[in-house]
């Protein structure tokens, strides 16, 4: 997860604590952003809605994540 397109690790596990002997980069920041966006989008869907296209929402979530990463890059 060192690819600059994914934003790096969302919650990097540095191995600095005594209980953590195996550092792990964890999920990417892009995946974290997409998950947060997806949760927000799906929370707006009425509970009595007919079947929804989850793949469509997933694509929108990753588009939102990419936009967030781009905006973040522009402010650094």
What pTM was estimated for this model as a whole? Answer: 0.72
Tokens encoding 68? 């967030």
From residue 10, alpha-carbon distances to 28, 49, 52, 54, 56 in Å are 5, 33, 29, 24, 24
Length reported for the chain: 76
Q: Does a structural domain hold residue 70?
A: yes
Kindly state whether residue 22 falls inside one of the protein's structural domains: no
Number of domains in the chain: 1
Q: Is the pLDDT of residue 28 over 60?
A: yes
Question: What is the percent of the chain with per-residue pLDDT over 70, rounded to a whole number?
Answer: 75
Q: Domain span at residue 35? A: 1-8+28-41+55-76
Average pLDDT, the chain: 83
Compare 73 and 29 and report the one with higher pLDDT. Answer: 29
Q: Is the pLDDT of residue 19 over 70?
A: no
Q: Report the distance separating Cα 29 and Cα 64, nearest Å.
A: 12
Examine residue 36 and state whether it is found in any structural domain, yes or no: yes
């Amino acid at each position: 997860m060192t690819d600059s397109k994914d934003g790096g690790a969302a919650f990097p596990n540095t191995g600095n604590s005594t209980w953590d002997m195996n550092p792990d980069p964890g999920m990417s920041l892009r995946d974290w952003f997409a998950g947060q966006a997806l949760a927000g989008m799906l929370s707006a869907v009425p509970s009595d809605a007919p079947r929804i296209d989850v793949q469509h929402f997933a694509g929108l979530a990753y588009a939102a994540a990419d936009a967030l990463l781009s905006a973040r890059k522009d402010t650094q």
